[in-house]
Amino acid sequence: MAVTHNRKESVTAERALDIAERLVQVRGFSNFSYADIATELDITKASLHYHFPGKAELGQALITRYAERFNQALADIDRDLPTARARLEAYADLYAGVLRNERMCMCGILAAEFQTLPEAMQAEVIRFFDENQAWLSRLLEAGRADGTLRWSGLAGDVAQGILSTLEGAMLVARPYGDLERFNAAARQLLNGLAA
């Protein structure tokens, strides 16, 4: 009986995170409430507080889960694609995929709200971007070694530029509802790094 109850609690917590993630990616963190999630789940707000005592804890769980999934996608890219150029294209496509679903990068949205976030969430947002920049830096070095990418300067600076370009391209494409605006920026970026 306890196993069934724990499984139901786990499913409820995961569904709450799914709903909250969608709401953050569409509205932003400050523009949804526990009542929004509870209504969609058809549970009470008190039941939601059982899983996540406060919105800060919910937000931290959201970022942790999002980063874990993103890092797994990066590991899959590393495992499945032979060249740094192909891996960089797949990385850009992760962002395009989010836009195709009419959402934004969750950490990008949270970065826009950074000053209003609890400190623990701020630290997790920074960690997400730091991990992406580190992965991109390694990718750039691999691209130079395998001859598929060309760039000058410090790998970390170029990695920061890639990350900033893709996040910014999402923001600019969003009000137009036009994925091609993002794709055009991504193509320019990729073409500029082609060996």
Average pLDDT over residues 181-194: 96
Which pLDDT belongs to residue 11?
82
Provide the 3-class DSSP secondary structure of residue 63. helix
Which pLDDT belongs to residue 5?
47
Which pLDDT belongs to residue 18?
96
**Residue 37 amino acid letter:** I
- Cβ neighbors of 187 (< 8 A, separation 6 or more) are none
% of the chain exceeding 70 in pLDDT? 95
State pLDDT tens for residues 81-134. Answer: 999 999 999 999 999 999 999 999 999 999 999 999 999 999 999 999 999 999
Q: Name all contacts of 86-91 with Cβ < 8 Å and 24+ positions apart.
A: 86/148, 87/139, 87/142, 88/139, 88/143, 88/149, 88/162, 88/190, 88/193, 89/190, 91/136, 91/139, 91/162, 91/166
Q: Structural domain boundaries of the chain?
A: 55-193
Q: Could you count the other beta carbons within 10 Å of the beta carbon of residue 58?
A: 22
What span, in angstroms and rounded, lies between the C-alpha atoms of 37 and 42? 8
Query: Is the CATH code 3.30.360.10 the one for domain 55-193?
Result: no
What is the value of pTM for the model shown? Answer: 0.90
Token pair belonging to 74:
């990066």
